[in-house]
């Protein structure tokens, strides 16, 4: 029997958590777009500082780095370093047929820690808070990777 | 029955689309290599500006940013932000047993929009054109994530 | 029958290789953290140069780029460009039911080439060595993508 079907409650939990993280990460791109529009700058492509529908009054200064925009880019980079890893690790973890309660706890804690990380970085809270949120997600990823290795070795 | 086998036409469509996107994203690294060789610069590792088989006449200027090379790096970054997300979202979407015609339309439109995005950025076309191509891929990813959530909730 | 279960030896090989790469990529973030602590700098968030538990004596110079830290960030970027792609490509490749010996050879060569790449970049060895390690992983990813396309087309 396949474990990667909606009949499997662990897969449903994972698919739901994965979809939230996918929407979160995809939305970070839109937040960068929103911030570039708001400050009318922070662009990185030379062609973006040329006249067009979206830029009636171009200026070379629009290509200078803007911290408000760069923050969103760094958040995106952090997503890129963590979320695809969670998505694949979670999927392989589902294939090891974990207990539903353990899996649900791991997936929901991961999602909550990443949403908290998002809020903490967006609002420029303390380094300690950001590090804590990131560490939770990191430890859950390690735990699932360990569970995969354990299940392969004990097979 | 498993949905992630070649017997499932939706999986075949997805695997084919996924392979194209994998080859595309992997090739962006080679495009960066090609551009670094062509301009003999744009390197980022200090050891790359030292004498060796690939660099008989080194110079510190080889480590300066080069826009021709940086463009390829930004294209790679855009792939990194979008393609792994499509790959996992598409796989989970296949697990929701969508109609073959809908899935084929989504996968092929995604691939075409990303290939158009590649061409538009490579040739430095207008911001509006680039934004349109990226938006199509983004909306398809959101749509598949929404379909995953919908299928989990209605189960 | 599903191919993505522990009953399938090819899946077990893949899951084991994937877990190693997941742990490797996740650990790169911790190496960056370790290096930032060691040099007490190389930070990128303005809030990290403010007084706190982790930073009792802050200074604006802590926000300047530090090559020792940046090297780890570039290594992470290289992981981000390659490892999620391997993880998804490998999973789809398992779904094409390859010969166990071929799959085991590809997965183990990939893992070894990436671990060698890690060592070579960490210790700033020659460009030629780094390029060779990266090329091996790249070729394996292309090969698996080609096998996926081949299996879809001949179905």
For residues C11-28, average pLDDT: 98
**Cβ contacts of A104 within 8 Å, gap of 6 or more:** A10, A13
ipTM over 0.85: yes
pLDDT recorded at residue C123: 96
The first and second tokens of residue C142, run together, are: 């292309």
Instruction: State the 10-residue block means of pLDDT for chain A, 155 residues long.
Output: 93 98 98 97 94 91 96 98 98 98 98 98 95 98 98 96
CA A26 to CA A22: how far, in whole Å? 6
A85/C88 touch (CB, cutoff 8 Å), yes or no: no
pLDDT recorded at residue C84: 98
Choose among A118, A109, A101, A90: nearest CA to A23: A118
Question: How is A28-87 classified by DSSP, letter by letter?
Answer: HHHHHHHHHHHHT----SGGGGS-BTTBSS--GGGGS--HHHHHHHHHHHHHHHHHHHHH
Q: What is the pLDDT of residues B75-131, one digit of tens each?
A: 999 999 999 999 999 999 999 999 999 999 999 999 999 999 999 999 999 999 999
Question: How is B3-72 classified by DSSP, letter by letter?
Answer: SSSTTSHHHHHHHHHHHHHHHHHHHHHHHHHHHHHHHT----SGGGGS-BTTBSS--GGGGS--HHHHHH
Question: What is the sign, positive or negative, of the torsion defined by CA atoms of C13, C16, C18, C24?
Answer: negative
Contacts of B56 in chain C (CB under 8 A): none
* Partner chains of B (3+ C-beta pairs under 8 Å): A, C
User: With 70 as the cut, is the pLDDT of residue B1 above it?
Assistant: no
Would you place residue B52 in the very low, low, confident or very high pLDDT band (cuts 50, 70, 90)?
confident
pLDDT recorded at residue A136: 98
A154 touching chain C per CB within 8 A: no
CA A136 to CA A110: how far, in whole Å? 7
**Cβ contacts of C13 within 8 Å, gap of 6 or more:** C100, C103, C104, C107, C108
pLDDT recorded at residue B72: 98
**How many alpha carbons fall within 13 Å on the CB side of residue B42?**
18
For residues B61-87, average pLDDT: 97
pLDDT recorded at residue B142: 98
**Residue B114 CA from chain centroid, whole number:** 7
Q: What distance in Å separates residue A15's CA from the closest CA in chain B?
A: 7
Q: What is the pLDDT of residues C81-106, one digit of tens each?
A: 999 999 999 999 999 999 999 999 99
Residue ranges of B 72-101 with Cβ closer than 8 A to chain C: 76, 79-80, 83-84, 87-88, 91
The first and second tokens of residue B17, run together, are: 């689309």
pLDDT recorded at residue C4: 97
User: With 90 as the cut, is the pLDDT of residue C1 above it?
Assistant: no
Helix (H, G, I), strand (E, B) or coil at B52: strand
A50/B96 touch (CB, cutoff 8 Å), yes or no: no
For residues C123-145, average pLDDT: 97
Say which of A2, A26, A87 has its CB closest to residue B142: A26
C52/A131 touch (CB, cutoff 8 Å), yes or no: no
A29 touching chain B per CB within 8 A: yes
* Partner chains of A (3+ C-beta pairs under 8 Å): B, C
Q: What distance in Å separates residue C51's CA from the closest CA in chain B?
A: 32
pLDDT recorded at residue A1: 67
A92/C44 touch (CB, cutoff 8 Å), yes or no: no
Candidate from A44-58, C14-28, C112-126 with smallest mean pLDDT? A44-58
Give the number of B-C residue pairs with CB atoms closer than 8 Å.
99
The percentage of residues in chain C with a pLDDT greater than 90, rounded to a whole number, is 97
CA A67 to CA C63: how far, in whole Å? 13
């Amino acid at each position: 029997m396949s474990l990667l079907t909606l009949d499997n409650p662990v897969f449903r939990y994972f698919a739901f958590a994965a979809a939230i993280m996918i929407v979160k990460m995809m939305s970070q791109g839109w937040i960068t777009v929103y911030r570039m529009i708001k400050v009318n700058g922070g662009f990185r492509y030379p062609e973006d500082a040329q006249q067009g529908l979206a830029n009636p009054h171009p200026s070379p200064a629009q290509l200078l780095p803007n911290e408000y925009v760069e923050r969103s880019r760094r958040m995106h980079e952090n997503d890129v370093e963590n979320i695809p890893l969670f998505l694949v690790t979670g999927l392989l973890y589902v294939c090891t047929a974990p207990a539903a309660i353990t899996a649900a706890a791991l997936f929901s804690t991961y999602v909550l820690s990443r949403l908290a990380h998002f809020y903490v970085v967006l609002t420029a809270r303390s380094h300690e808070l950001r590090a804590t949120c990131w560490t939770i997600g990191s430890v859950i990823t390690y735990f699932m990777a360990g569970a995969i290795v354990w299940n392969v070795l004990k097979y």
